[in-house]
A and B are shown apart, each in its own frame.
Chain A
């Protein structure tokens, strides 16, 4: 077997195991979904209430805003499961020692495991989708083109989500206990990703700040494209910004990993 082929099979196996793990905890995920659907419903009620009789605010109609909230909530749930980086657990339990001698590079293991987990969660999201549409409201993509570009942008957003979470996960090589850091990262990234409030409703200074941070490229960008809020030259810029952040995040991850590797002390065994 060629080296490249072996790597791909290895990465595939890492992903498959995570998919199985996701299914083992299916009852938990199902309850989790009920919570998610309630959240979708709550957002619809809240947005409807604040809109009142207004047809459109900041150029956004109520149905568009509800579709944004519904899709955004689902997308965020799928991309950010609670244990969204496996690194801290591997470091704390010392399993990292085994990971390092595997024939698949560690960074590939993390990324493919993360993809595997998402694949395992995707059926749950699919089950939730019709209910979410019923409880919230959905809108089709602004145009066929917008739909196609959305899918591309969604893949970019997903990759960036994984890379950013992995960088934060790497911190566990230095501090071992990262539950606090992780939770803080989760909250900050959720807010600035636009998953809660779209950038168009943020006060000017907050929107400016959000624009220069990488998080908006994970969630807000694909959704804005889907709903037709970004087109023409801005569309290209949005995609380019996503690619740029992915490149930067990948570089940062490699750098962090190169340093983290020197911190590994495998005890006993």
Chain B
């Protein structure tokens, strides 16, 4: 509880610091929306022109895209600092975090803030809202609850993947490229129904680099498409739970690896 309170206090401070530059804040929001918008524009032209991809309509792909981007926003808004954790370790800032009475991970996450992250969340919600009005889903309370759980679970999967790579930085010191690569992979491949990929890649994206759990598997449940899965539908229904488990595992890895921290010496 105290950790959470400290998180909000420190995050608020970082946010106040960044929003001092109002003009740039607005510009970065637009830029972030443009960045995500181009990805969606590509899918829109492509799927619009060809009428569908792997049997998914434009609205359904947009729904998948919306879930993925909203989950991504739920990761980047509170936790984007994890992407540059190696720099924090290399420059010895982590020393400071260790002697302060707050969880070091919380301090990493609230050390600074990039405003662009808010456009991830906003863009995701816009795409999701637009898609939800076009796809035919019976929005019962249960379905809505599953959607919310799926998005939170998807965010936890993404965060778990990034945190796992980030914890390597205690030994490797330079993992930025690796983290960026994992992010672009999730960003590029995560926007398509996994069914378009060959079997080997479907396996990789389900069990080794589990991006299928971020958006694809839960959206097959909501879109009544679990029939196309090559894995048990139980996995699709349980995607939110998988997110919690993966995150717990990644956090353990982070804590264990942090014991290998060797300060850069001051």
Contacts and interface: CB of A to CB of B under 8 A. Distances in A.
Interface in A10-69: 27-28, 30-32, 34-35, 38-39, 42, 45-46, 49-51, 57
A213 B49 CA distance: 22
Given A28-B177, A42-B188, A177-B24, A201 B49 contact: yes
A206 B178 CA distance: 36
A191 B188 contact: no
A177 B181 CA distance: 27
Interface in B41-85: 41-42, 45-50, 52-54
Contacts of B38: 187-188, 190-191, 196
A35 B185 contact: yes
A203 B48 contact: yes
A42 B50 CA distance: 17
Contact of B27 (A28, A57, A180, A206): A180
B64 to A, nearest CB: 14
B264 interface: no
Contact of A42 (B27, B47, B189): B189
Contact of A50 (B50, B174, B188, B189): B50
Given A50-B50, A50-B53, A177-B24, A187 B37 contact: yes
B181 A35 contact: yes
Interface of chain A: mostly helix, strand, loop or mixed: helix
Given A31-B177, A46-B53, A206 B34 contact: no
B184 A35 contact: yes
Nearest to A196: B42
Interface of chain B: mostly helix, strand, loop or mixed: helix
Given A31-B178, A38-B188, A190-B38, A179 B45 contact: no
B9 interface: no
Contacts of A34: 181
Contact of B42 (A27, A177, A179, A197): A197
Contacts of B174: 27
Contact of B54 (A49, A182, A183): A49
A143 interface: no
Given A35-B185, A197-B45, A183 B34 contact: yes
Residue with the highest number of chain B CB atoms closer than 10 Å, among A31, A182, A188: A31
B214 to A, nearest CB: 16
Interface string B105-122: 000000000001000000
Contacts of B48: 203
Given A38-B188, A179-B28, A184-B30, A46 B196 contact: yes
A202 interface: yes
Interface string B222-236: 000000000000000
B90 to A, nearest CB: 14
A237 interface: no
A206 B177 contact: no
A216 B189 CA distance: 26
Given A31-B180, A201-B46, A181 B189 contact: no
Given A188-B34, A201-B49, A39 B188 contact: yes
Contacts of A28: 176-177
Nearest to A178: B27
Nearest to B115: A180
Contacts of B247: none
Interface string B20-35: 0101101110111011
Given A39-B188, A45-B197, A184 B53 contact: no
Interface in A183-199: 183-184, 187-188, 190-191, 196-197
Interface in B170-216: 174, 176-178, 180-181, 184-185, 188-189, 192, 196-198
Contacts of B177: 27-28, 30-32
A200 to B, nearest CB: 10
Contacts of B31: 179-184, 187
Interface in A140-184: 175, 177, 179-184
Given A34-B181, A39-B188, A50-B50, A187 B30 contact: no
Nearest to A182: B31
Nearest to B197: A45
A38 B185 contact: yes
Interface in A76-91: none
Nearest to A28: B177
18 contacts: A27-B174, A27-B177, A28-B176, A31-B177, A35-B184, A38-B185, A39-B184, A46-B46, A46-B53, A183-B31, A183-B116, A184-B27, A187-B31, A187-B38, A191-B38, A191-B42, A197-B46, A203-B49
- Closest 10 pairs (CB-CB, A-B): A180-B27, A31-B177, A183-B31, A50-B50, A187-B34, A180-B31, A49-B196, A180-B28, A187-B38, A184-B31
